Amino acid sequence: MKGSLIYKKDNNMKNLFITILLLLSTIGYGQKVLTDDNFEDAVKGRSAFQDDNVKVVVVEFWASFNDANSFEDWDNLKGIRYYRVDISKSPKAKKEYKVRTIPHIILFLDGYDETHFKAGLDFAIKESLEEIQEAIDDLNNQSKF
């Protein structure tokens, strides 16, 4: 009886451990963090996964103190690669792209800075997911000509 109880505890711990590992493996899926060291390569180059048909790169400039207003729908955007930049770790990119408020989303097409979505004084982006997706679709269609 005692051995059976130990087995159940061990099995429960094993299941808990596996569940935690699975949850941790899904955090940040598809989202990569950029710094000044890899920023230019990410927006101008191609992905390591060779998704050459993805032309639009979405970069969100972000800060931990405003995490409540970060762009949470990034995984619902289609036809893109998405990156996040912590402004405290990327002062050069922040300055170069004139990021004054966060979040600040920039759409890059084939490495060129095309469209900005900037937070207002309330530190929130006013554009909806649909409006951002429409801008992405316009850029993807533009690149076909």
Q: How far apart are CA 55 and CA 111, in angstroms?
A: 8
Question: Is the per-residue pLDDT at 92 higher than 50?
Answer: yes
Residue 70 C-alpha from the chain's centroid: 10
pLDDT of residue 21: 47
Q: How confident is the model at residue 107 (pLDDT cuts 50, 70, 90)?
A: very high
16-25, 46-55, 99-108: which has the minimum mean pLDDT? 16-25
pTM over 0.85: no
DSSP state at residue 98: T
Specify the residue for token string 């770790």. 89
